[in-house]
């Protein structure tokens, strides 16, 4: 079964340039260009497709979602939940035919987990970067960059980024977890400089008067 908590930790702000370990210079240059392009955006909204597979079982699940990002804020919409993050608080809203609940957490700004608002700067968070080469992905020329964690206890061991060669846009990424699972994400449509008000990233309690609240702050 696909773990949505992993998805929230693995999708798409920026900090000072960190250590690249033994990263090669070409990979470092490409990732810096991608990060710089992201910082110039006022915000973006994108639809994406994600699959979860293992080496032994192949593809286990395929689904779609939508993500909106503005600075360190994001909103992630999946088929069974919506995650709101305004940079300080995270609301995870789940609605089924039987119940409706929202779990509230404070943002741990020192955490190493990946989120939709830091996938563009993941290379600054304790990973070694290596340019594997160039290939075509969905008929688009891309750079294939492998990031390997420098932390022994990291839940995520490897991240492979697919970066469009000419525009330096991140169009897909592949994540390998610590139990052999592989998550593959592909942007389907990206709307750049999307006007996103700050309250778009905050859960609206007035519209959900019957929601059960689980406050873990």
- Residue 119: is its pLDDT beyond 80? no
Give the residue-averaged pLDDT of 130-150: 91
Return the H-helix or E-strand segment holding 118: none
Indicate the range of 13-27, 44-58, 86-100, 164-178 predicted with least confidence. Answer: 13-27
Alpha helical stretches, state H, 13-103: 25-39
Q: 3 versus 173: which is more confidently predicted?
A: 173
Please work out, in degrees rounded to the nearest 5, the angle formed at the alpha carbon of residue 129 by the alpha carbons of 124 and 133: 140
Domain boundaries, the chain: 4-215
Query: What's the Cα-to-Cα distance from 203 to each of 72, 87, 93, rounded to whole Å?
Result: 16, 13, 8
pLDDT of residue 114: 61
Alpha carbon 130 to its chain centroid, in Å, reads 20
Q: Residue 56 contacts by C-beta under 8 Å, 6 or more apart in sequence?
A: 180
Q: 184 versus 156: which is more confidently predicted?
A: 184
Q: Which fold has domain 4-215?
A: outer membrane lipoprotein receptor (LolB), chain A (2.50.20)
Using CA atoms, how far apart are residues 83 and 203, in angstroms rounded to an integer?
9
Which residues are paired to 149 by β-bridges?
127
Backbone angles phi, psi at 58, to 5 degrees: 75, -155
Environment class of 27 (CB within 10 Å of its CB; exposed 0-12, middle 13-18, buried 19+): buried
Q: Residue 4 contacts by C-beta under 8 Å, 6 or more apart in sequence?
A: 78, 80, 81
Query: What is residue 122's DSSP assignment?
Result: G
Using CA atoms, how far apart are residues 113 and 213, in angstroms rounded to an integer?
24
Indicate the range of 49-58, 74-83, 204-213 predicted with least confidence. Answer: 49-58
* pTM of the shown model: 0.78
pLDDT of residue 143: 95
Of 81, 84, 108, 82, nearest to 96 by C-alpha is 81
Q: Is-contact 47 66, C-beta < 8 A? A: yes
């Amino acid at each position: 079964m696909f773990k949505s908590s992993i998805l929230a930790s693995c999708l798409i702000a920026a900090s000072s340039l960190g250590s690249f370990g033994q990263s090669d210079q070409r990979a470092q240059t490409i990732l810096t260009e991608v990060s710089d392009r992201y910082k110039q955006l006022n915000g973006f909204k994108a639809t994406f497709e994600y699959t979860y597979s293992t080496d032994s079982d192949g593809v286990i699940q395929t689904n779609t979602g939508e993500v909106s990002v503005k600075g360190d804020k994001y909103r992630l919409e999946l088929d069974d939940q919506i995650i709101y993050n305004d940079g300080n608080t995270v609301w995870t809203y789940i609605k089924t035919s039987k119940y409706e609940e929202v779990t509230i957490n404070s943002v741990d700004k020192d955490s190493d987990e990946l989120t939709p608002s830091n996938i563009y700067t993941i290379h600054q968070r304790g990973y070694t970067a290596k340019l594997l080469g160039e290939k075509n992905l969905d008929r688009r020329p891309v750079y294939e960059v492998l990031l390997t964690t420098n932390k022994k206890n990291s839940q995520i061991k490897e991240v492979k980024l697919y970066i469009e060669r000419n525009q330096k846009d991140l169009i897909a990424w592949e994540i390998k977890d610590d139990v052999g699972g592989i998550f593959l994400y592909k942007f389907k449509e990206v709307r750049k400089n999307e006007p996103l008000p700050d309250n778009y990233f905050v859960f609206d309690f007035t519209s959900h008067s019957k929601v059960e609240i689980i406050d873990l702050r």
